[in-house]
Chain A
Amino acid sequence: DAGVTQSPTHLIKTRGQQVTLRCSPKSGHDTVSWYQQALGQGPQFIFQYYEEEERQRGNFPDRFSGHQFPNYSSELNVNALLLGDSALYLCASSLFGTANQPQHFGDGTRLSIL
């Protein structure tokens, strides 16, 4: 039973560039949430996708966007990268489009902005 997988594991970009991160949910899960985790901090909720729609959003600018595909996998896109976007980006999958179901996290993508 495959867990949550994310790609790539590491990424280095420069300011102003755009990046796309990918996530495949745990088998049987239909909901994907994205988080940003800065060093020494807790995960910060970016948004949640369910039924191919963005259902909830945290306090992140429109530079952060996403997509969910019919197979439940998801992408996170960040435009006009800033130095402050350097962080670990975590994807978590769960069920039923709510936050009150157990979430299973992937290993994350470490994004570094130069």
Chain B
Amino acid sequence: GENVEQHPSTLSVQEGDSAVIKCTYSDSASNYFPWYKQELGKRPQLIIDIRSNVGEKKDQRIAVTLNKTAKHFSLHITETQPEDSAVYFCAATLGSSASKIIFGSGTRLSIRP
């Protein structure tokens, strides 16, 4: 069925450490995988995305990896800072025509000072 599973649901890390959030998807035709950050009471904001023809993408302290065979992708945040505290959502398109997008249930990331 149409499903994106996201783990963990909550994550607490020490400031300066790394955080990793993992997602698995069910549709082998999925070809676009964005990650969104949503701070309390604010809109989701796209922080990084990856397409199925790429295995890894980096943008400063943020990186995303994709394993098409295993149908999972991960968000890596290095050198975490207090402003990284937020809820993070992964998402994946459905079908080869990318007809719609399904979101994971979210990970609440807290950075401990």
Contacts and interface: CB of A to CB of B under 8 A. Distances in A.
B104 A99 contact: no
Interface residues of B, number: 26
Interface in B58-113: 89, 91, 93-94, 97-106
Contact of A103 (B31, B46, B51, B97): B46
B44 A90 contact: yes
Interface in B25-45: 31-32, 34, 36, 42-45
Q: Describe B's contact surface by its main secondary structure.
A: strand
A99 B45 CA distance: 16
Nearest to A6: B43
B89 A42 contact: yes
18 contacts: A33-B101, A35-B103, A40-B106, A42-B89, A42-B103, A43-B103, A45-B100, A55-B99, A56-B100, A90-B43, A98-B93, A98-B99, A99-B32, A100-B31, A100-B32, A100-B93, A103-B46, A105-B44
